[in-house]
Amino acid sequence: MELAKRLDRPVVLVGLMGAGKSTVGRRLARRLGIPFVDSDAAIEDAAGLSPAEVFERYGEQDFRDGERRLVARLVDEGKVSVIATGGGAFIDPRTRELLNERAITVWLDAPVDILTERTSRRDTRAQLRNGDPKATLERLASERRQAYEQAHLHIKSGSGAHREVVEAILRALDAHLKGTD
């Protein structure tokens, strides 16, 4: 794909849990013909524990520190790829600065009702295990919006087909690259 030839850095998907970063990321990478990396899977490979287990066992601060180091390593490898990050990765100011300097960041923004429905399918989200998941997602959306708004591209992700989100990202990437060429 011609667009992939113009990429000189990773494309990093950010947003709340359930926004579709992994699913859309795989499809986007396939369309572009470039590798896909899921940072949560990379954390599990490195730690031998799921991200939720690391979060619960060591706490959010240690988890975020490890996540930041891992995301930095993925970006510093210099490969043109699509990287799906965990929902909180972009909230860390150092991680956000690194990603905005060395990658093209794409915020997948989905309504809380859709996030709630998607995240309820599996019990793998440490932050949603206690209390009301919808209220937690509403709080996280409010707390994180300002950080997510700093991504290079903002793509609405709703109840439509993932293919439509991929197409929207491709159009936005094309326009972004034309503006930076």
- Domain assignments of the chain as residue spans, ordered by start: 2-176
Contact 68, 92 (CB under 8 A): yes
**What's the whole-model pTM score?**
0.89
Q: Is the pLDDT of residue 60 over 90?
A: no
Structure tokens at 16: 């709340």
CA–CA dist 101, 115 (Å, integer): 28
CA 129, chain centre distance (Å) = 21
Pure H helices in the chain: 2-6, 21-32, 39-47, 51-76, 93-102, 112-119, 133-148, 162-180
Is 2-176 a domain of CATH 3.10.620.30?
A: no
∠ Cα 58 64 65 (to 5°): 90
Residue 16 CB contacts under 8 Å (≥ 6 apart), including other chains: 87, 110, 115, 137, 140, 141, 144, 148
Q: What is the mean pLDDT of residues 124-129?
A: 47
- Mean pLDDT of the 55-82 span: 87
Between 1 and 2, name the one with better pLDDT. Answer: 2
Tokens of 29: 């990478």
- Of the chain, the percentage scoring pLDDT greater than 90 comes to 50
Mean pLDDT for the chain? 87
Residue 123, number of CB atoms within 10 A of its CB: 10
- Predicted confidence at residue 127, as pLDDT, reads 47
Beta bridge partners of 12: 83, 105
Q: What is the pLDDT of residue 56?
A: 83
Task: Tell me which of 1 and 18 has the higher pLDDT.
Answer: 18
